[in-house]
Amino acid sequence: MRIFRHYTDLPRDARDVVVAIGNFDGVHKGHQEVINEAGTIARAMGVPWAVLTFEPHPTSVFRPETEPFRLTTMRTKVRVIEEMGVDQILVQHFDKDFASLDADAFIDEVLLAGLGARHVVSGYDFEFGRGRGGSPDLLLKRGREKDFGFTAVPKVVDANGEVYSSTRVRNELKAANPRAATEILGVPFEIEGRVEHGDARGRELGYPTANLTMGDYLHPATGIYAVQAGIDEGLNTKWMDGAGSFGYRPQFGGTHELMEVYLFDFDGDLYGKHLRVRLIEYLRLEMKFDGLDELKAQIADDCVKVRQILAK
C-alpha cells in the first residue's frame, strides 16, 4: 500500500480514485463498511482504492487538554487499513490552517484538484470543513454539480441494533470489557510501543515483564489482563500468550500508569523492540498485598487463569 502525507502534488497514478474519507479511529466494523464500500466501487470502476484520513486527530488539535482517547495511533491505523487490501492511503496532516478550509474548498482543492476523486464514500454522519460546515448532503449535491459520485454508508449496527462507534469501544475498555470492545472492532484492542527498561521488579519476582508507556492511547481500566503480544512484523507478527498488568503498581508506589506484559515460555530480549499487545480478557483489579510472597502467589494464580482463558 502506498502512503502519502499531503494532497498536493500527488503522482498521476495516485489520482482518479475512489476514496473513503474519515478519521477512522479504531477502524471498527462501521469504519470497515465505509472503507470496503469504496473498495467495491473502485474495483468495479477499475481505479485505485484510496482512503483519506487525518493526523493528528482533529480533537487533539482543537482540545489539546483532552485526556488520551485514541484507539489507534497513525502506525496502527495505517497497518489495519493496509491489511484490508487498500491501494493507497493519504494521511493528511491536520492543523488549524488545514481546518480553516471551508467545505467547498475542501471538495474543490482536496478531493477534486488533489485526489481527482471519481467517487467519494463517507459515513452517514461525516462532517468536514471549517465549522463542520460540510455534510453528506453537500457531498451529494456537489457531486451532481461537479461530476463525481458519492455514497453515504448508513448506520452499521450489531445484533442488538446498537451502532458500531469509537465511543462505544472507549466505554467498554474503560468499563473493563475488552471482549465487548473486540466485538465492535472486529479484532482485540491493541496497544503498541517500544519496550523500555523498567525497575526490574518483575524479574526479581520471577516474572520478567516488557514495559510500555501508553502515550496518546486511551487508557483502559486498570488491572490484570489476559493478553497476546508479538514483536511487530506486520502480517507476519507471531503472537505469544501472556499476562498483562496495566496501572500504577500499588505494591511499589508507582506514580504513573504503565503496561507490563509477562510472556509465557519466552526468554528472549525485548528491549528496544516494537511490541504489539492485544487485550483479550480482564481478570481483576490491581491491588496491594501484605508482602512479596503473597504477591508472587497471586501472580502465579493469575497466570494459571490466563492460560486457561487463552487456551479457549
Domains of the chain listed by start with CATH number: 2-153 (3.40.50.620), 188-311 (2.40.30.30)
CB of 20 closer than 8 Å to CB of 38: yes
% of the chain exceeding 90 in pLDDT: 78
| Cβ count near 85 (within 10 Å) | 12
The whole-number average pLDDT for the span 87-106 is 96
Predicted pLDDT at 203: 64
Predicted pLDDT at 204: 62
Predicted pLDDT at 200: 57
Grid coordinates representing 292? 512479596
DSSP 8-state symbol, 67? P
**Burial tier of 272 (Cβ tally within 10 Å: 0-12, 13-18, 19+):** exposed
Is residue 201's pLDDT more than 70?
Answer: no
- Whole-number Å distance between alpha carbons of 272 and 154: 43
Residues 114-149, buried b or exposed e (16+ Cβ, 10 A)?
Answer: bbbbbbbbbbeebebbeeeebbbebbeebbeeeebb
> Cα–Cα distances in Å, from 121 out to 36, 111, 127, 146?
10, 11, 13, 16
The whole-number average pLDDT for the span 283-288 is 91
Predicted pLDDT at 66: 86
% of the chain exceeding 70 in pLDDT: 95
Grid coordinates representing 95? 492543523
> What residues have CB less than 8 Å from 190, skipping those under 6 apart?
72, 76, 276, 277, 278, 279
Q: How confident is the model at residue 131 (pLDDT cuts 50, 70, 90)?
A: very high
Is residue 240's pLDDT more than 90?
Answer: yes
DSSP 8-state symbol, 72? S
Of 82-96, 200-214, 215-229, the one with minimum mean pLDDT is 200-214
Q: In what helix (H) or strand (E) does residue 39 lie, and over which residues does it extend?
A: helix 29-45
**Of the candidates 311, 287, 306, the residue with the CA atom closest to the CA atom of residue 226:** 306
pTM, full prediction: 0.92
16-70 residue pLDDT tens: 999 999 999 999 999 999 999 999 999 999 999 999 999 999 988 988 888 889 9
The whole-number average pLDDT for the span 150-178 is 97
- Whole-number Å distance between alpha carbons of 237 and 172: 26
Of 61-70, 76-85, 277-286, the one with minimum mean pLDDT is 61-70
CA angle 137, 141, 143 (to 5 degrees): 115
Grid cell 517500544 in the structure block, residue: 194
What is the three-class DSSP state of 196? strand
Q: How confident is the model at residue 252 (pLDDT cuts 50, 70, 90)?
A: low
